[in-house]
Amino acid sequence: MAQEISAAEQIATQFKEHSVAEFFKKNMQMLGLTGKIKALTTIVHEYVTNSLDACEEARILPDIEVQIKELGDEYYEITVKDNGPGMTRQTVGKALGQLLAGTKFHRMMQMRGQQGIGAAGATMLAQITTGKATQVITGTGSGKALSLDITVDPKKNEPKLANMVELGKTFQGTIIKAKFKGMKYVNSEQAPLEYLRRTAIANPHAQITLIEPSNQKTVFKRTLKEIPKQPLEMKPHPKGMNVDELITLAKYTDSKTVKTFLKNTFDRMGDKAADEIGKHVSFDMNKDPKQITWDEAEEIIKQFKNINFIAPRTDGLRPIGEDRITKSLTSIVKPEFSSVVTRKPTVYSGGFPFQIEVGIAYGGDAGKGGNTTNEEGVVEKKMEIMRFANRAPLLFDTGGCAITKAVQSIDWKRYNVKDVENAPITVFVNLVSVHIPYTGAGKQAISDEQEIMDELRLALMDSGRRAGAFIAGKKKEMEKKMKKELFFKFIPEIAAALEKITKEDRKKTEKNLEKLVLEKLKLEDESDEAQQIEEEIKEASEKVRKNEREAKKKKKEAEDEEVEE
């Protein structure tokens, strides 16, 4: 027995607490900061998304410049400059030198960043790989700008500030300059240039400049001067709640009764819904919510599932918008045709509302590749999948992402794409939510929640149908052209033969035959047009019926909401 106690005490001496910074220092791959190419792009991603979020929250049209200098073999300096609101003396250290600190994680609000890890992780990576601090200049536009060096104390997960001085001039925005080793800059599908190209497509209101190590300068000009409306903070929706989350929320509420707790905490929860829950639970709804037991929470969750709540509020979600996506794709991808669909908001597990946007671009510069040609001299292109979460591009962990799985699950042959792997198509998919269910802290792949997968497939099929109609029409035009060329090729020979038999003028016969061919092709077009009109009438009729159903549903929801209020 004494030996067992001694062994336990020996083990206890090895027991130590670790800070979150120490954990991520040993597991930088979890932040996406691993791999020579991936780490470089991830660093740019972290800085740029922070700049975009800050600018939008301050209602400033973003103007961001990224410069990458090669200092030596696999040794680079990254500088990111923005015109945002800047940071104060009190927050700059925590924002860039303390992991899990920031303005986003605790707010149920649609933003690109979520955890408050990325920028501080980049600061830590700089000191790990070079031993150098991250240099920062920031100013709020009023007062003198601040210059300082930042490192991370991994043991305490605290920022260490040095060389802090006030500059002799005012400045609005932030400039971050950091050095990294073990990186490699290449022009590929996962490089900073491609990341910023996609960022520009999803953020047409931003102007983004990249200066590459070769000094090649690329400017993605803004195509819109309208700043997206600011998202609103939201409450969780009852339909996605589970027992543990309910109990956790109840422990920290200021409400005095279970009824007021439900009304104050959840979206779409009025007096009517709260009273209905009270009728079917075994405890008093005037009970202190902090005293809720597991069994009582299960009763509430059961009633959540039985009640037909109004759909989640949409005012907290800010999709890019069909017109904006179309304009961006037209400006950057330059397709022959594009089809964009924005689904209505819904909710996934956890009570988080989300929305799906899908754009399909065909022809032009759509697709990836284009450097090789086939035997017929036609440029070969492959399908390109552009994945986004709250407008931020996802370039890595492609195979494990719900978006990729959804695209691969579609039968593209139904939409006149015979070989989807080798087609000039760009598929643009943006998931909008107050909380993105990433598969890891690196934020490069989305978890395949069933509700999200269903919405992705519906949006892809809807957009695919429109693109398929265009592709079918283009194929008919090509077939018509081929028929015309084939018939016109033999008309001179036929006219010459008829001249010998009928003694009719050959030129006159050629013109008559050409006229006959054109009339025949026109009749085919009219037949196709009649069929198309019939299909359009059928589709319009169905749309009218659908609108009538939705109008009745909205009327009922409005009546229910009025009763709740």
Amino acid at 327: K
Print burial letters for 432-467: b (CB count within 10 Å at least 16), e (below 16). bbbbbbbeebbbbbbbbbeebbebbbebbbbbbebb
Kindly tell me the sign of the dihedral angle through the C-alpha atoms of 305, 240, 109, 65: negative
Task: Identify the segments of the chain with pLDDT beneath 50.
Answer: 1-2, 102-106, 115-116, 375-378, 530, 533, 537
Please tell me the predicted confidence (pLDDT) of residue 98.
78
Distance of alpha carbon 357 from alpha carbon 562, whole angstroms:
31
Q: State the virtual CA torsion across 406, 409, 412, 413 in degrees, nearest 10.
A: -170
As a whole number, the mean pLDDT across the chain is 81
411 Cβ contact list (under 8 Å, min separation 6): none
Q: Tokens 């037909």 sit at which residue?
A: 308
Distance of alpha carbon 338 from alpha carbon 464, whole angstroms:
10
313 Cβ contact list (under 8 Å, min separation 6): 234, 267, 268, 345, 353
Radius of gyration, CA atoms only, the chain: 30
Distance of alpha carbon 114 from alpha carbon 116, whole angstroms:
6
Write down how long the chain is: 565
Please tell me the predicted confidence (pLDDT) of residue 53.
87
Please tell me the predicted confidence (pLDDT) of residue 31.
64
Please tell me the predicted confidence (pLDDT) of residue 260.
93
Ramachandran area for residue 350 (φ above 0: left; ψ -120 to 50: alpha; else beta): left
Please tell me the predicted confidence (pLDDT) of residue 103.
45
Q: Which helix (H) or strand (E) holds 464?
A: helix 450-502
> What is the token pair recorded at 478?
């090509």
CB 289 within 8 A of CB 303: no
**Domain 238-306 sits in CATH 1.10.630.10:** no
Please tell me the predicted confidence (pLDDT) of residue 7.
67
Residue 287 burial class via C-beta count within 10 angstroms: exposed 0-12, middle 13-18, buried 19 and up: middle
Distance of alpha carbon 440 from alpha carbon 430, whole angstroms:
18
HEC assignment per residue over 396-447:
CCHHHCHHHHHHHHCCHHHHCCCCHHHCCEEEEEEEEECCCCECCCCCCCEC
Fold held by 20-220? Heat Shock Protein 90 (3.30.565)
The model carries a pTM of 0.69
HEC assignment per residue over 176-214:
EEEEEECCCCCCCCCCHHHHHHHHHHHCCCCEEEEECCC
Which architecture, in CATH terms, is 322-469? 2-Layer Sandwich (3.30)
CB 343 within 8 A of CB 356: yes
Distance of alpha carbon 109 from alpha carbon 60, whole angstroms:
19
> What is the token pair recorded at 365?
């510069």
pLDDT, tens digit, 9 for 90 and up, residues 194-251: 999 999 999 999 999 999 999 999 999 998 888 888 777 778 888 778 899 899 999 9
